[in-house]
Amino acid sequence: MLYIVATPIGNMGDITLRAIETLKACAFVIAENPHYSKRLLEHVGAWPKEVVQFAEFNEQQVVKDLTRRLKKEDGCLITDAGTPGISDPGFRLVRECVKENVQIVPIPGANAAIAALCASGLPTDKFMFLGFLQKTAAKTVSALQSASDAEATAIFYESPERILKTLSYISNAFPASQVVIARELTKMHEEFIRGTPLDIIHQLKQKPSIKGEMTVLISFK
């Protein structure tokens, strides 16, 4: 059996009781970064426990072996932060388990996109999650246009190194859109920045430096 266990996106207090119980009970853990995941397992009292790496560089080599093992033992899939399978390689393991009739049980919990959306003040009745956008202006605008055409709030993840460039693409293509950046969610320096694309560019440029993981939301209405 495969348990898909959501983990905190920053604040360790956000892990659920069910997630802790499941991590303690499973035979082994499947993680992108075993060294990072060890800290979480220590925090919840589930260490020592075998941790098997499943990441983009080795997924093709290990996915079938893991699936065969999950037919015999219970394993927990976790990601570095948040819900496994959302913009990370974990979905490929889930897909293989579905193909091989391995039972899958989700253990819900933290997710940056949903946490940002519910506090954004933007429309929540229809939204489109875009993961990490492609780096070119044309591909960025094309992805966002699909959300605009669907009259949905667009949600995507962006790095601090690329945020100004991405906002410039958005400002050129959708100057009147309303943008919210949720930065460092659940952490000490959590911040929401709201305005038009150009407003936010000006706000970010006033900071001494731009740091922290970012979730970007855009309303085209």
Q: Residue 163 maps to which CATH number?
A: 3.30.950.10
- 214 with 131, same domain: the answer is yes
Range with the lowest mean pLDDT among 115-119, 124-128, 151-155, 211-215?
211-215
DSSP string, 19-56: HHHHHHHSSEEEES-HHHHHHHHHHHT--S--EEE--T
- Measure the CA–CA gap between 40 and 21, rounded to whole angstroms: 13
Based on the fold, state whether residues 100 and 126 are members of the same structural domain: no
The answer to whether residues 30 and 78 touch, using CB atoms and an 8 Å cutoff, is yes
Is residue 126 domain-shared with residue 209, that is, in the same domain?
yes
Residue 153 has pLDDT above 90, yes or no: yes
Point out the domain boundary residue: 107, 127, 146. 107
Q: List the structure tokens of 180.
A: 């919210």
Is the domain of 67 the same as that of 17? yes
Residue finishing a domain among 60, 83, 107: 107
| pLDDT exceeds cutoff 90 at 196 | yes
- State both tokens at 160: 């601090």
Per-residue pLDDT at 144:
98
Residues 31, 90 within the same domain: yes
76-112: pLDDT as tens digits: 999 999 999 998 889 999 999 999 999 999 999 999 9
pLDDT at 53 over 90: yes
Cα distance between residue 197 and residue 183, in whole Å:
16
Q: How much is the pLDDT for 56?
A: 86
pLDDT band at 221 (very low <50, low <70, confident <90, very high): confident
Do residues 61 and 100 share a domain? Answer: yes
Query: Do 174 and 197 belong together in one domain?
Result: yes
Residue 106 bridge partners (DSSP): 4
Band (192; pLDDT cuts 50, 70, 90)? very high
Give the separation between CA 75 and CA 63, rounded to whole angstroms.
Answer: 13
Q: Tell me the mean pLDDT in the region 129-145.
A: 95
* 157: phi then psi, degrees, rounded to nearest 5: -105, 145
Short-list 66, 63, 25, CA closest to 46:
25
pLDDT of residue 88: 87
The answer to whether 214 and 160 have CB atoms below 8 angstroms apart is: yes
Do 207 and 185 fall within a single domain? yes
Nearest to 185 by CA among 120, 112, 117, 124: 112
Over the chain, what is the mean pLDDT? 96
User: Total domain count for the chain?
Assistant: 2
pTM above 0.85, yes or no: yes
